[in-house]
Structure 1
C-alpha cells in the first residue's frame, strides 16, 4: 500500500506541480528568466515610450510559443489610440527582404534557380545597362549584397503614390552604376533585393506580391500583412501613424512611403504575423510549411559570405549576429517606421520589435541586445594582438552614391576610428560614438556605446601594403577616404566664400549705381553685364540652397522632381559663360577705376569658382 501511495504522489507531482520547481527555469539567451520578462521589458521600454518613441509592438517567442506580446505607446498620438501587437499594422521596411530570400530558396529547392549561376541567364537580354565589370553577378551576390551596385536614393521611395511604377519599370528607372567588382565589397543594396524578386517573378510568371501571398503568407496563416503598393485598395484601418521626433515627447506625423521596388521594403503588417514567420524559421519545427525539403531551411541559415571565421557574416540574406548564441537578424526603416527581426535558432528564441518612429534604435536594437546577450571572449592573449593605432583613419560607407550631387553627403559623414590604447578604439559616426575592443587580431567587438552601432557590433580590418583597405561588417563595408579630407575642407571654405560674395554683391552694385549715376554711358553698358553676372551667381546659390532644403525635408523623391533644378544649373552656366565673354571682349574699351577692376575680376573669379565646385560636386547630374 505504501508503494502504491508513493507512486500515486509522484504522478500527481509530475502532472500538477509547476516545472519551475523541479527543472531549470527557462530564460532568454541573455539569461533573463521568462517569469520576469514582462517586468524587464516594461522597465526598459519606460525610458523611451512617449519620450523618444511614439509607440511599439513587441513579441518574444520561446520554444515555438509566443511568451510575451505587448503594445506600448500610441498608433495615433493625438487620438491616444493604443498599439496592439496582434492587430496594429506597421511598415516593416527592409525586413520585407527576408521574404525575397525565402522565395529564392523555395525556387532553389525546386531546381528552378541556381544560386551560383549568372543572373543574366534569368533576365531579359540587355536588362542591366550600367555594369562596369565583366565578372558575372550571381544570385548569391544579390543575397550577400556583393553585386557591386552603388546606392541610389532617387526613385526608391515616394511620399505619394503618383510616381508608382511596376516592379520592372522601377528597376529600369532606378538602375544604379556598378562601382565594385562582384564578390569583393558588401554594399547593402535595395536594388539587388528587388532584382532578385523580379527574377522570382519571371520564373514563376506570377507577380512577386502574389507569389509571397500564396507561397508564404497563406502557408503561415498570415492575414493582416501585405505588400502595400499604394495603388490598390487602402490598407486596414488598423495601420498606425508614423512619426518623426522633434524633441523629447514631441512627435510630428511623418510622410507616407510608397515603393515601386516594393520587395525591398514594402510589407505592411503586424508583429504577430512576423512572429509566425519567426516560428517557421526554427530548425526544431518539423514538416516546415515554407520548404518541402528538410535541409533547405538549414541551408538557408548556413553562412554564405564571410571574410574571417571570427566575425559574423551573411546567411543568404540574413545578417548573422554575434550574440551569446548565434543569431540571424534584419532591421527595417522607412520614412516613418523602424523595426527589427531577430531569431536565435539554437535557443528556439525570437524577438520582434516594430515601432512607428523614424530612425529608432534604442528599442529595435538596444532591447534586442539585452534579450539575446553578448558572446563572451576569453581565449585571446593581449600579446597576440596588433596595436590598434594601425586602424586609425576616416572611412566612407561602401553603401554610397558615387554618381550625382548626393555623393557629397557621404563624404561629409565619415566613420572616424581613433585608437584609445593598444586594444581599444573609439568609433564615431554622425555625432555618436562607441568603444570597440580587439578580441582577435584586427577583429574588434563593441563593448559600449550608442545603440546605432549594435547592428555592426563586430568590425574586421583587412590590410593591404600595411594600411587598412577595408572595414568589414555583415551589413555594409567601409572603405578608406582617399586623402580628400583637406580638399573637402578647402572646397567647403570656397563655397562659403561664394555664398557670401553673391549675397553681398547685389547690395554693393545697388549702392554703387546710386553713387555713380553720372558715369559715362559706355561704363554703364559694361556694368549691366556685371549686374547680370552677379544675378546669375545669386541665382546659383538660391537654386542650390532650395535643392538642399528640399532633399533634407524629404529625400523620398523621384529624380524627375529635382531634374528641373539640375537643368537650371545648366542654363545659368551657359548665361555665365556668355556674360564673361562679353565682359572680357569690352574690357579694354572702357576706362575703369582700380576699385572697379578689382570688383569685376573678383566677380568673374567667384562665378568661375562656383561653377568649378558644382562640377566637382556633380551638381549637374
Structure 2
C-alpha cells in the first residue's frame, strides 16, 4: 500500500509541474508526450526534484554518509534514447561515481532471457509449450514431485508448477563451488506443495529449470545459447550471464569494484562489495551496463522483432497467459510481468543480495524505461521514473464496478513461501489481513480493483487483484508474484506459535530454578521433577533451533543439508523428550494431591504446546523440502 501512496504522490507532483513557470522547456508546444500525459521536459524536471539526489558525499569515516540514491535510469522511444542519467556512486570512499561504464546485476530480469530463448526454440518447432517438460529433461530429473499431473513449459512461465520456495541457498560465496546447471538444480529441488496449474507461486527454481531445458534442447550451455542468440545479435558487449561471470572479463572486473549501499535513517551505509554467485544462474545472474539493458529492452519493444525470425512470435510472447480471476485482464505473458499503469506494460523487476532493477516497455508506443541500482533494498529510482512515464492506473480504465463492493475478511498467507518443512513458520509471519486492503470493487469475472484517493488532491488511483477458489475450497487473492490464500483459524495458529515461544522462554526460568536447588543440595520435592526439567529444557532447545533456522535463512538465504539434518534431528529429540515429559506429567497429576497437581498440569500443558507446535509447523521435517 505504501507503493500506492507513492504513486499518488508522484502523480500529484507531476500535475503541479504542468503549471510551474520555473521549467521553461515545459512550454514547448510541439513536444511529444509520454503515455502518462506529461512531456519529456516535464519528466526531466521532475527527476531533478527527487529528494535524495546529489553528488557522492564522502565522509571521514568512509562507512556512513548522508543518504543519496545510487543507480542509473534510462528512457527510450523506439531506437531513440530520450533520457539517461547516473546517480550516486559505486565506491563512495574512493569517489567513484556511477557512470555509463558501471555494471549492475539484473536479478530476475535475467528470467526474460529464458523466455525469449524458449520462444525462439518454439518458433523453430523444437519445443511445445503444452507438453510435459519431463520429455525434454533427463529421466528421473525430479525427485520430490507430489502430483502426477504434467508440468508444462506454460506452467513454468506462469509460475504455476506447484513448487514452494527452496529451503536451500540459491547463492554461493565461492565460485569454485559452482556445479553444472543440471546438478545445481537437483541439489536444491524444493517440495511440490501445490497442485499443478492451480496456485501461482513465483519460483526461481521453476524458471531455472526452463533455462536447463534450453540447454537440453539446444545442446549448448544456457550461457552460450544466450550469447549466440541474444547478446551477440544485439551487440551487447558489456553483459554477462554465466554464474561466475567468466563469459565477460569486462563485467567481471567492473563488478568486483562495485560497492552496495543501504539507506539507514537517511544515512548511507556502505555494505562493501557483496559478490555472490547464483548456481541456478538462468534465473538471476545476468550483469551488465545500463546501455546494454536498454538495448535489450529496445529489441523487445521493436515491432520488427529482431530477436525472432517472425514478428508473430514476439506478438505471441506478449499475449496473456495468466489472468486476474476469469477475466481477460492478463498479469503474465509467457514469463513477462504485465503491469497496468495508464497503459499496459510488459517487463520484469529483479533483486539480488546487492542490486535491484526494473524494466518495463509499452509495445504500442515503443517507449520503455529501465532502472538499475546498487542498493539491495532498492530506492525511488525503481518506481518514480516508471510512474512519470507510464502514469497511474485509472479506476475507470476497465469500466464501472459491477456493484460487487466488499471488504475482505480473514487473513491471507503468501503461497510463495515454505508450506512444508521447518521454515513453515515464516509464512505465518507474512500474513495479510484482508480488511487492511480496504474496500474492493468487482469489475467482472473474478477481477477486482482497490481504489485509493489521494489526501493531497483527491485524485484516485487503482490496483488490480484477482480472486479465485482452490480445489480445497479456500479463497485466494491473485497477484503476479503469488497468490494469497485465506487461512482458516489463523489467529488460533498464531496463538499456538506465541505460546510455544513463551514456553521456550519459560524453560530458562525452570532450568535456573533447578540449578539453584541443585547447588543448595535440596532434594527434589516432586516425583518426576527431573522429567519436568527435561521437558522445559527441550522446549528451550527447540526454540533455539527454530531461531537458528531464521538466522541461517537471513544470512545465507537458505540452509545446507548438514544444517537441515542437524536441526531436524534436534527437533525430533525435543519432540520425544516433551512427549515423555507430557506422559510423566499426566501420570503424576492423577497421583498428586491438590496442591501439587497444579504444577503437573502446568508441565503437561507446556509440553503439549511444544509438541503441537513442532508437529503443526513441521519443525522436525528436513527431508523432501
Tell me the TM-score normalised to structure 1 length: 0.82
In the other structure, the counterpart of 1:469 is 475
In the other structure, the counterpart of 2:411 is 394
User: SS at 1:126's partner residue?
Assistant: coil
Whether 1:546 aligns to 2:548 is yes
1:274 is displaced (CA, Å) by 0.7
1:444 is displaced (CA, Å) by 0.2
Give the counterpart of 2:48 among 42, 55, 58.
42
Task: Mark the CA change 1:318 to 1:188 in structure 2 (over 3 Å): closer, same or farther.
Answer: same
1:185 is displaced (CA, Å) by 2.6
In the other structure, the counterpart of 1:323 is 341
Whether 1:270 aligns to 2:289 is yes
Superposition CA RMSD, Å: 3.5
Task: Mark the CA change 1:566 to 1:366 in structure 2 (over 3 Å): closer, same or farther.
Answer: farther
1:96 is displaced (CA, Å) by 0.3
Comparing 198-207 and 471-480, the one that deviates more: 471-480
User: SS at 2:619's partner residue?
Assistant: coil
Give the counterpart of 1:369 among 387, 390, 411.
387
1:593 is displaced (CA, Å) by 8.7
1:54 is displaced (CA, Å) by 4.6
Question: Aligned partners of 2:563, 2:54: CA distance in 1, in Å?
Answer: 36
Comparing 117-126 and 601-610, the one that deviates more: 601-610
In the other structure, the counterpart of 2:253 is 237
Comparing 593-602 and 368-377, the one that deviates more: 593-602
In the other structure, the counterpart of 1:509 is 514
Contact 2:582 2:603 in 1 (8 A): no
Question: Aligned partners of 1:291, 1:380: CA distance in 2, in Å?
Answer: 32
Whether 1:126 aligns to 2:140 is yes
Contact 1:330 1:342 in 2 (8 A): yes
Question: Aligned partners of 1:108, 1:530: CA distance in 2, in Å?
Answer: 65
User: SS at 1:474's partner residue?
Assistant: coil
Question: Aligned partners of 2:120, 2:50: CA distance in 1, in Å?
Answer: 38
In the other structure, the counterpart of 1:570 is 572
Give the counterpart of 1:283 among 285, 293, 302.
302
Question: Aligned partners of 2:397, 2:115: CA distance in 1, in Å?
Answer: 35
Whether 1:347 aligns to 2:353 is no
Question: Aligned partners of 1:383, 1:315: CA distance in 2, in Å?
Answer: 25
Question: Aligned partners of 1:463, 1:118: CA distance in 2, in Å?
Answer: 25
Contact 2:262 2:376 in 1 (8 A): yes
1:40 is displaced (CA, Å) by 2.0
Whether 1:189 aligns to 2:203 is yes
User: SS at 1:492's partner residue?
Assistant: helix
Larger radius of gyration: 1
1:482-518, Cα deviation, whole Å (9 max, x unpaired) = x12132232033213312320111221133334553x
In the other structure, the counterpart of 2:311 is 294
Task: Mark the CA change 1:435 to 1:41 in structure 2 (over 3 Å): closer, same or farther.
Answer: farther
Whether 1:479 aligns to 2:479 is no
Whether 1:336 aligns to 2:354 is yes
Give the counterpart of 1:154 among 168, 174, 178.
168
Alignment of 1:10-159 (within 5 A): 24-44=30-50, 46=52, 54-84=69-99, 86-159=100-173
User: SS at 1:256's partner residue?
Assistant: coil
Contact 1:278 1:350 in 2 (8 A): yes
Contact 2:75 2:370 in 1 (8 A): yes
Question: Aligned partners of 1:191, 1:277: CA distance in 2, in Å?
Answer: 24
In the other structure, the counterpart of 1:9 is none
**Length, aligned pairs only:** 573
Give the counterpart of 2:189 among 167, 171, 175.
175
1:504-535, Cα deviation, whole Å (9 max, x unpaired) = 11221133334553x49xx7996555554444
Question: Aligned partners of 2:398, 2:222: CA distance in 1, in Å?
Answer: 48
In the other structure, the counterpart of 1:421 is none
Give the unaligned 5+ runs of structure 2. Answer: 1-25, 56-64, 456-460
User: SS at 1:238's partner residue?
Assistant: helix
Task: Mark the CA change 1:68 to 1:577 in structure 2 (over 3 Å): closer, same or farther.
Answer: same
Give the unaligned 5+ runs of structure 1. Answer: 1-19, 419-425, 428-433
In the other structure, the counterpart of 2:619 is 619
In the other structure, the counterpart of 2:8 is none
Question: Aligned partners of 2:409, 2:536: CA distance in 1, in Å?
Answer: 44
Task: Mark the CA change 1:550 to 1:462 in structure 2 (over 3 Å): closer, same or farther.
Answer: closer
User: SS at 1:302's partner residue?
Assistant: coil
Question: Aligned partners of 2:585, 2:31: CA distance in 1, in Å?
Answer: 86
1:31 is displaced (CA, Å) by 2.1
Whether 1:497 aligns to 2:514 is no
Contact 2:549 2:559 in 1 (8 A): no
Contact 2:36 2:388 in 1 (8 A): yes
Question: Aligned partners of 2:593, 2:268: CA distance in 1, in Å?
Answer: 58
Contact 2:345 2:361 in 1 (8 A): yes
Contact 1:324 1:376 in 2 (8 A): yes
Task: Mark the CA change 1:180 to 1:22 in structure 2 (over 3 Å): closer, same or farther.
Answer: same
In the other structure, the counterpart of 1:609 is 609
Task: Mark the CA change 1:99 to 1:435 in structure 2 (over 3 Å): closer, same or farther.
Answer: farther
Task: Mark the CA change 1:491 to 1:456 in structure 2 (over 3 Å): closer, same or farther.
Answer: farther
Task: Mark the CA change 1:540 to 1:129 in structure 2 (over 3 Å): closer, same or farther.
Answer: closer
Contact 2:239 2:292 in 1 (8 A): yes
Question: Aligned partners of 1:66, 1:564: CA distance in 2, in Å?
Answer: 55
Question: Aligned partners of 2:357, 2:454: CA distance in 1, in Å?
Answer: 20
